[in-house]
Amino acid sequence: MRIARRFRRRSIQSGLFCSLLTVAGALAASAEQELEVTARMAPELIGVDQMSRFAIEVVGSGIGSRRFEPEFELDNLEIEAGPSQSQSFSFVNGVASRSESLSWVVRPMGVGTARVHSIKVRIGDTVYEPADVEIQVQEGAVGRAPPQRGRIADPFEDFFPPHIGRLRRGATVRPEVFLRAEIAPRDPWVGQQALYTLYLYTQAHIASINPERLPEFSGFWVRELDLSESPEVEMVDVDGQRFGRVPVLRRAVFPLRPGELELEAAKVQLSVRIPDRTFGSMFSDVEQIRRDSNPLTLVARPLPPGAPADYSGAVGELQIATELEPEDVAVGEAATFSVTLSGAGHLQGLPAPRLPELDGLRTFPPQQDSDERVVGNQVRGRRTWSFVLVPEAARSFDLPAIEVPYFEPRSGRYEIARAAPAVLDVVPGDAPAVEVAQTAEPGVAAEDPGEPAKPGVGSAAALPTLAAANWIQLLPWLLVTLLLATLSAILVRRRPRNDRRSGARVLDAALDAAAAETSGRQAAARIEEGWRRYLETRWAIPPGTASTQWSKQLMGTEVPAEAAEQLVALADDLHYLRYAPQLADTESLTRELILRSQKLSRSLQ
């Protein structure tokens, strides 16, 4: 392995250094090129699972910053982290000197000798070649003395607000850093929110945080919770040591199915700044380290039996409200009846409430609107369904109270959210009412209603005569009607097959569009929409039906129970991909969901 690195250094200017430059300028200029370049690696004996540190140090007269470019090759070693930079100054008897170093954390690849060789360091036009360095790697771990324990103050000077504090001057301990994941509650009901938090515990200054791997949250609907740009830091005691604790990741998670659900360990790369106290803690050494959190297991409880017959899966603390606008209309005019369900919980995917069928009142499918917001660490949702009502008769229509059953997690009981009834008053419209009445021929007086009706054009007795006189004119219309009826019967018989092909074409187009998406969320949205249109076309399942209800809606069709369960599992994974905020690559999961959709679609043909 050949390593080459280039580094740009910043010149440090201050009153102190300017005065040093004034006092020793001539001496520093004459000795600037007197440099000593060394390489070292410690510890010299490690276990195969342990690590060592390789460093290149440049020491010379003067205080000016130097740019040096190291190259080297590794045998039986690989770089775990780095490089880290450090520097120090001294001013003794009028002579200024400067020490700069670069260091890497290296990991052995096997037992035996491990070395760094062919080391070259270019400084200006000069190339320095320090001696090779090597260490020995043994099978078992090499014991080390436990670190000294010292009192550590708030450690987030660089990554977090400046008022939080510094490491205590003179501490000789090497600070510790670790991650810990927590979730509460550990046993939520299905559909109830749980709060996942990833905490960073540290005794060091944290310069940057880069998440490398997060839990997949498979089996959950997930909502990201924003953290403050200046997160609140707590000082806590862990096993007798003082740590600063700060949340670095927070998610609201809602289990979609009962049973054990795994949350994998998170992996984070950290830039840790360790002060160099050689020159009054003015400079520091930045190290790159990786830390894994603990995995978690959550046990989701199934909802208890006894749910109301029309329960559709709502979980939370919910309220319902209705609004009728306007409350007074004329025949043929439209009114809007809005139903709003809101409260703490995840309300996406809930079906629209059902309005009763009232004679003389046409009800159109509702328009849907929804949003979610976070209050504290709690997700609150709102869903509104707006129905258009068109009366066809002049009278009052009583709209009964709307009821939506839901499960209340704190009490563990099913509750009913109720809205007050409403009344729609309808008055006659401006258009004349349509009446069925017999009209006499022009020029013929109206008959006396008290006398028997006489046979004429409008009477039943005249119909045979009319048919006999005009049957030749009516014959083409009868033939056209018969032809249309025949074509309609043929189309009706072929409709299931056409619906099957049409739904498959729609789904295939959605899958092709998903494969072209670069965003996992957009791809999941296209796949889910394709399946909703397929189910609507094939089995008349309303597109707004919650995916958890798909298997129930498919009961009684030719779809096997196993295929229906696969469809619901697929919907769960689509839900995860669509709503779970991801920092990791989702391309492989997207491809998998497209392949599963194609396979399942073929099995349903």
Which pairs count as long-range contacts for 539-546, CB under 8 Å and 24+ apart, including other chains? 542/351, 544/351, 544/352, 544/368, 545/351, 546/312, 546/313, 546/349, 546/350, 546/351
Say whether pLDDT at 21 is over 60.
Answer: no
Same domain, 106 and 177: no
User: Using DSSP, how many helices (H) and how many strands (E) does the chain show?
Assistant: 6, 30
Write out the two tokens for 294: 């603990």
Note whether 591 and 545 are same-domain residues: yes
305 burial (CB, 10 Å; 0-12 / 13-18 / 19+) is exposed
Q: How many CB atoms lie within 10 A of CB 181?
A: 19
The predicted pLDDT at position 321 comes to 94
Inter-CA distances, 23 with 65, 88, 175, 404, Å:
18, 19, 38, 84
Does residue 167 lie in a domain region?
yes
Tell me if the bond preceding 188 is cis, omega within 30° of 0. no
* pLDDT class of 131 with cuts at 50, 70, 90: very high
* Identity at 432, one-letter amino acid code: P
Terminal Cα-to-Cα distance of the chain (whole angstroms): 55
> Which of 378, 406, 427 is the last residue before a domain boundary?
427
Domain co-membership, 247 together with 360: no
What residues contact residue 480 under an 8 Å CB cut-off, 6+ apart? none
Which span out of 11-25, 30-44, 339-353 was modeled with the highest average pLDDT?
339-353
pLDDT band at 252 (very low <50, low <70, confident <90, very high): very high
Give the bridge partners for 42, in sequence order: 53
Assess whether 178 and 273 both reside in one domain: yes
Q: How many domains does the chain have?
A: 4
Q: Check whether residue 241 and residue 334 sit in a common domain.
A: no
- Band the pLDDT of 275: cuts 50, 70, 90: low
**pLDDT band for position 132 (50/70/90)?**
very high
Q: Which of 202, 144, 149, 155 is nearest to 173 (CA)?
A: 149
Q: Give per-residue burial for 554-580: e unless 16+ CB within 10 Å, then b.
A: beeeebeeeebebbbbbbbbbbbbbbb
Residue 479 Ramachandran class (φ > 0 left, ψ -120 to 50 alpha, else beta)? alpha
pLDDT for the residue numbered 481:
64
Angstrom distance (rounded) from CA 413 to CA 307: 9
Q: Does 200 lie in the same domain as 115?
A: no
Q: Are residues 167 and 289 in the same domain?
A: yes
Domain residue limits at 416: 317-427
Query: Residue 462 carries which DSSP code?
Result: G
Question: If you average pLDDT over every residue of the chain, what do you get?
Answer: 75
Angle between helices 463-515 and 587-603 (to 10 degrees): 150
Give the separation between CA 138 and CA 67, rounded to whole angstroms.
37
Contact in structure between 179 and 200 (CB atoms under 8 Å): yes
Per-residue pLDDT at 12 exceeds 50: no
CATH code at position 380: 2.60.40.740
- Mean pLDDT over 298-325 rounds to 92
Predicted confidence at residue 167, as pLDDT, reads 37
Q: What is residue 5's predicted lDDT score, i.e. its pLDDT?
A: 36
Q: Is residue 348 part of a domain?
A: yes
Give the Cα separation of 28 and 274 in Å (integer). Answer: 29
Q: What is the CA radius of gyration of the chain?
A: 39
Residue 146 falls within a domain, yes or no? no
Find tokens 């809606």 and name the residue. Answer: 553
Residue type, 109: M
pLDDT in the model for residue 191: 93
Lowest mean pLDDT among 142-156, 271-285, 342-356: 142-156
User: Which tens digit of pLDDT belongs to each residue from 296-311?
Assistant: 999 999 999 999 988 9
**Per-residue pLDDT reduced to its tens digit, 219-244:** 998 988 887 655 667 888 888 888 88
Q: What is the per-residue pLDDT for 166?
A: 39
Same domain flag for 109 and 27: yes
Q: Look at residue 258 and tell me whether its pLDDT is greater than 80.
A: yes
Residue 476 in domain: no
DSSP structural state of residue 278: G
Question: What mean pLDDT do residues 128-154 have?
Answer: 67
Antiparallel, parallel or unpaired: β 422-427 and 328-330: parallel
User: DSSP labels for 297-342?
Assistant: EEEEBPPPS---TT----BSEEEEEEEEE-SEEETT--EEEEEEEE
Average pLDDT of the segment spanning 27-39: 61
d(CA 117, CA 565): 60
Flag the least confident range among 91-95, 276-280, 366-370: 276-280
pLDDT per residue as tens digits for the range 574-603: 766 665 444 445 677 788 889 888 888 888
In angstroms, the CA 253 to CA 194 distance is 5
User: Which neighbouring-strand residues pair with 251?
Assistant: 196, 224
What kind and span of H or E run contains 572? helix 561-579
Q: What is the pLDDT of residue 228?
A: 67
Same structural domain, 62 and 97: yes
Cα→Cα distances 183→45, 212, 251, 281, Å: 41, 20, 9, 39
Instruction: Write down the pLDDT at residue 139.
Output: 83
Task: Assign 487 a pLDDT band (cuts: 50, 70, 90).
Answer: low
pLDDT at 330: 92
- Whether residue 246 contacts residue 304, with contact meaning beta carbons closer than 8 Å, is answered with no
pLDDT in tens, 391-446: 999 999 999 899 999 999 999 999 999 998 999 999 987 644 433 333 333 333 44
Give me 232's structure tokens. Answer: 């609140």
Interval 446-484: pLDDT, tens: 444 444 444 433 333 333 443 444 445 556 656 666 666
User: Which of 189-198, 228-237, 380-389, 395-404 has the lowest average pLDDT?
Assistant: 228-237
436 occurs within a structural domain: no
Same domain? 404 vs 524: no
List, in sequence order, every residue forming a beta bridge with 423; answer none if it has no partner: 398
The 10s digit of each residue's pLDDT in 84-114 is 777 665 544 555 667 788 888 888 998 999 9
**Max CA distance (Å), the chain:** 142
Task: Determine, yes or no, domain membership for 151.
Answer: no
Tokens standing for residue 125: 């036009």
CA angle 261, 267, 273 (to 5 degrees): 150
Helix, strand, coil percent values for the chain (each to nearest 5): 25, 40, 35
At 162, the pLDDT band (50, 70, 90 cuts) reads very low
pLDDT in the model for residue 447: 40
Q: Is residue 189 part of a domain?
A: yes
- Regarding whether 338 and 261 lie in a shared domain, the answer is no
Query: Which residue among 238, 271, 300 closes a domain?
Result: 300
Q: Assess if residue 116 is contained within a domain.
A: yes
Amino acid at 139: E
Say yes or no to pLDDT of 500 above 90.
no
For residues 221 and 126, membership in a common domain is answered with no
CATH number at residue 207: 2.60.40
- Is the model more confident about 295 or about 100? 295
- The top-scoring range by mean pLDDT among 5-9, 94-98, 262-266 is 262-266
The conformation of residue 516, written as its DSSP 8-state character, comes to T
CA distance 184 to 194: 5
- Going by C-alpha positions, the residue among 384, 413, 419 that lies closest to residue 315 is 413
Last residue of a domain, one of 405, 427, 449: 427
Higher pLDDT, 175 or 471: 175
pLDDT average, residue stretch 358-384 = 88
Q: How far apart are CA 136 and CA 75, in angstroms?
A: 12
CA distance 308 to 17: 79
Q: Specify the DSSP class assigned to residue 186.
A: S
